[in-house]
Amino acid sequence: MKKIIFSTFLMLMLITKGSLFAQIDVHFSQFMFQNKTFNPAAIEISNTINTSLVARQQWVGFDRAPSSQALNASTYWQDIYGAVGMNVVNDMLGNEHFLTARVFYAFPIQIGILSNLTFGLGAGIVSRTLDGTNLVYEDINDPNAFFGKENWIKPDFNFGMEYIDPNLTVGFAATHLYRSVANAGIDYAPRHYYLYGKYKFEDVMDKVYIEPYLLFKSSWYITQFDISVLAFYDNMLWGGVSYRLGDAVVAMLGYCITPEIKVGYAYDYAVGPIRGYSGGSHEIMISATFEGFNKTRVTPKTPRIFN
């Protein structure tokens, strides 16, 4: 029964007025640590190589439920006065498989004593595979039907900008610039827009500070809104909650194993129509920093402790 419900739900997301459209971009509940996945301007100005890996298993209990992984890496390079990086996203949803690989460059501009405005541009490819061998159609003569495996590879570009000072961060990004929302089709994902921000409230308690986060994400067809609050203790432990409008309530917990290695976990409890059929979603993240290539040490004017 769950398989039938999930298949129906999947097809409703894919079929709109007789045409097939690509799914929305991959979403991570711990987005505040994964901004480089969609925004090439979300960099650290430091002398380290910064990496992160996140894996998400969504809607536990469904057959072929969504499963996503993302790898990010970047470093600031004094010789080119900017940061270079890469990200790879693997995303599976039912009979669909997306693989996105990008490299990016980010250019920071100091606009205040302790503030920077960074611009970033990414370029790469998106590979989308649709396996039609498991699809069942009410009308086998449907001209939009797929009965074999189809693959499309397209160029991919994204752009972002981010303002950051010791307490405030605001960012904007657009992905899949190659194809407009109106012209998106089965062979290419539609353009997505991201707007996010956070503010750091220091000295809430001894060794404790709090950061609320907001994320707005839209492909015009589908819009998501997240509001989150995390509390950090002694720069070692964090925990918090998040609410994704009409979709899920999220609990998050993280710990710094060493100053260079951090791990995080998130559990999504569905509150939407899928609530009675799903065992929730699980997400695990690990980030690590390594010695960089800079000949002299870079002192970040706006350090990111947990990003």
Predicted confidence (pLDDT) at residue 72 exceeds the cutoff of 70: yes
Which structural domain, as residue segments, surrounds residue 69?
2-291
Is 278 domain-assigned?
yes
CB of 159 closer than 8 Å to CB of 120: yes
Predicted confidence (pLDDT) at residue 42 exceeds the cutoff of 70: yes
Is 297 domain-assigned?
no
Predicted confidence (pLDDT) at residue 134 exceeds the cutoff of 60: yes
- pLDDT tens string 281-301: 999 999 999 886 665 555 554
Is 75 domain-assigned?
yes
Q: What is the pLDDT of residue 66?
A: 84
The predicted model scores a pTM of: 0.84
Residues above pLDDT 90, as percent of the chain: 51
How far is residue 42's CA from residue 202's CA, in Å, rounded to a whole number?
A: 22
Structure-model confidence comparison of residues 62 and 114, the more confident one: 114
Q: What is the pLDDT of residue 79?
A: 77
Predicted confidence (pLDDT) at residue 142 exceeds the cutoff of 90: no
Is 25 domain-assigned?
yes
Is 26 domain-assigned?
yes
Of 222, 225, 102, 93, whose CA–CA distance to 156 is shortest?
102
Q: The CATH number of the domain where 278 resides is what?
A: 2.40.160.40
Of 68, 10, 14, whose CA–CA distance to 185 is shortest?
14
The tokens for 152 are: 């499309």
Predicted confidence (pLDDT) at residue 13 exceeds the cutoff of 90: no
Q: What is the pLDDT of residue 204?
A: 83
Is 14 domain-assigned?
yes
Question: For 59-87, what is the mean pLDDT?
Answer: 86
Structure-model confidence comparison of residues 136 and 34, the more confident one: 34
- pLDDT tens string 242-281: 999 988 999 999 999 998 999 999 999 988 766 666 678 9
Predicted confidence (pLDDT) at residue 181 exceeds the cutoff of 80: no
Confidence of residue 306 (pLDDT cuts 50, 70, 90): very low
Mean per-residue pLDDT of the chain: 83
Q: What is the pLDDT of residue 298?
A: 55
Q: What is the pLDDT of residue 303?
A: 47
Is 230 domain-assigned?
yes
Is 301 domain-assigned?
no
Confidence of residue 6 (pLDDT cuts 50, 70, 90): very low
CB of 189 closer than 8 Å to CB of 53: no
Q: What is the pLDDT of residue 14?
A: 39
CA distances to 53, 61, 69, 268 from 72, in Å: 7, 29, 10, 23
Q: Which residues pair with 103 in a beta bridge?
A: 86, 123
CB of 88 closer than 8 Å to CB of 100: yes
Confidence of residue 89 (pLDDT cuts 50, 70, 90): very high
Q: What CA dihedral angle connects 19, 25, 29 and 31, to 10 degrees? A: -160
Distant-in-sequence, close-in-space partners of 138: CB < 8 Å, separation ≥ 6: none
CA distances to 9, 95, 130, 231 from 147, in Å: 19, 12, 10, 50
Question: For 143-154, what is the mean pLDDT?
Answer: 76
In total, how many domains does the chain have?
A: 1
Other C-beta atoms within 10 Å of 214: how many? 14
Predicted confidence (pLDDT) at residue 136 exceeds the cutoff of 80: no
- pLDDT tens string 209-245: 999 999 999 987 788 999 999 999 998 999 999 999 9
